[in-house]
């Protein structure tokens, strides 16, 4: 059993890039820069949904890379990560899993992905993430700020064409060279690990929660593995085969304990009146002490809307403002 985790959401609630942009905004006297990041995050969704060639979900970090690189040092980016909370239960779960079998596939810049992974005891060689290039300048900032003002009054559709023209017409390609570990690249990570470890993808458990995880979730689901949307959204749920909604990542402990009979456990859990009796004493005691009442849903087309509602509620409860980002 090989685990591959998305980082932001499953392992840490904070969106590192959004927080970096907020800090940059404070430096520039622009307290609205979290909203600026939201604009580019929504633009990322638009490009993903329209299937723009060569574009991967999560490439928001490709678009903002020159801004982040010119405004914040490596030390500042790492400091943001050091102050980030961990998802409840993440540290406890890592003590149960074999660290050699735990991997990360994250859109996060390396300063965040490596820092959070180190705090959780995940080996750095198992961390796959986005490497932030070094830039000396970014001459398109004023143009982006002009479009941001337009966006604040008219929404995404008022600036979509202008953003297209800027990023894919006016802007020199060098400012777009960042390769983000999102979308298809996350599935590529799974397939590479499968070959290196000689473990079939059907023996993988992957955990994601957003649009950046859709290829990884769908690929593992189709291969017969366990693809978990953990407190996800309308993008992650339909691509998964198991939705786990919980205040703690330790909700995955019974899944680990039941493996490979995951689906048998999920069905017994959902039909049982006294669910905790299905758990080993050690797990039951942990659930009782921490007040855990997770929901395990097999994802079917007929119940997606209901699951998404449940996942989003838990997503906002844990990730708060970051939960609004897709």
Contact 189, 2 (CB under 8 A): no
Poorest-pLDDT segment among 8-17, 216-225, 300-309: 300-309
Mean pLDDT, residues 175-183:
96
Can you give the length of the chain in residues?
A: 326
Which domain does 68 fall in, by range? 2-324
Task: Output the pLDDT for position 83.
Answer: 95
Mean pLDDT for the chain overall: 96
Task: Output the pLDDT for position 300.
Answer: 86
Question: What is the per-residue pLDDT across 107-158, written as a single tens digit (0 to 9) for each?
Answer: 999 999 999 999 999 999 999 999 999 999 999 999 999 999 999 999 999 9
Query: Of 113, 37, 49, nearest to 82 (Cα)?
Result: 113
Task: Output the pLDDT for position 325.
Answer: 73
Mean pLDDT, residues 253-269:
97
Q: How far is CA 239 from CA 18, 41, 183, 284, in A?
A: 25, 20, 12, 30
Query: Of 216, 217, 240, nearest to 300 (Cα)?
Result: 240
Percent with pLDDT over 90 in the chain: 96
Q: Residue with structure tokens 């392992």? A: 11
Q: Per-residue pLDDT for 15 more than 90?
A: yes
Secondary structure of residue 98 in the 3-state scheme: coil
Residue 260 banded pLDDT, cuts 50, 70, 90:
very high
Give CA–CA dist 213/217, Å, rounded: 6
Q: Per-residue pLDDT for 323 more than 90?
A: no
Mean pLDDT, residues 48-63:
94
Task: Output the pLDDT for position 326.
Answer: 63
CATH value at residue 267? 3.40.50.1000
Query: What is the full DSSP assignment across 168-218?
Result: IIIS-GGGG----S-THHHHHHHHHHHHHHT--GGGEEEEE-SGGGHHHHH
Number of independent structural domains in the chain:
1
Task: Record the pTM.
Answer: 0.95
Residue 321 banded pLDDT, cuts 50, 70, 90:
confident
Q: Per-residue pLDDT for 322 more than 90?
A: no
């Amino acid at each position: 059993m090989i685990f591959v985790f998305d980082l932001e959401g499953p392992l840490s609630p904070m969106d590192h890039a959004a927080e970096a942009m907020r800090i940059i905004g404070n430096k520039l006297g622009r307290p609205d820069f979290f909203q600026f990041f939201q604009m580019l995050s929504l633009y990322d969704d638009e490009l993903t949904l329209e299937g723009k060639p060569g574009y991967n979900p999560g490439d928001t970090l490709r678009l903002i890379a020159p801004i982040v690189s010119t405004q914040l040092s490596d030390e500042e980016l790492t400091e943001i990560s050091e102050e980030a909370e961990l998802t409840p239960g993440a540290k406890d779960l890592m003590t149960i899993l074999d660290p050699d079998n735990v991997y990360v596939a994250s859109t996060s810049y390396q300063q965040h992905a490596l820092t959070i992974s180190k705090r959780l005891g995940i080996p750095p060689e198992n961390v796959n993430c986005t490497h932030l290039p070094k830039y000396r300048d970014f001459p398109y900032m004023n143009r982006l700020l002009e479009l941001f003002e337009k966006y604040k009054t008219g929404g995404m559709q008022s600036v979509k064409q202008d953003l297209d023209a800027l990023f894919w017409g006016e802007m020199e390609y060098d400012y777009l060279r960042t390769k983000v570990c999102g979308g298809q690249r996350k599935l590529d990570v799974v397939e590479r690990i499968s070959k290196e470890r000689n473990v079939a993808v059907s023996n993988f458990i992957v955990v994601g929660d957003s649009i950046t995880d859709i290829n990884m979730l769908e690929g593992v689901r189709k291969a017969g593995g366990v693809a978990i949307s953990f407190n996800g959204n309308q993008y992650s749920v339909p691509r998964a085969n198991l939705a786990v909604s919980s205040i703690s990542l330790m909700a995955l402990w019974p899944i680990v304990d039941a493996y490979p009979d995951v689906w048998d456990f999920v069905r017994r859990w959902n039909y049982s009146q006294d669910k905790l009796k299905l758990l080993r004493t050690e797990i039951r005691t942990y659930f009782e002490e921490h007040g855990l009442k997770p929901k395990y849903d097999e994802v079917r087309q007929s119940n997606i809307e209901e699951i998404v509602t449940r996942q989003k509620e838990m997503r906002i409860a844990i990730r708060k403002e970051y939960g609004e980002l897709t």
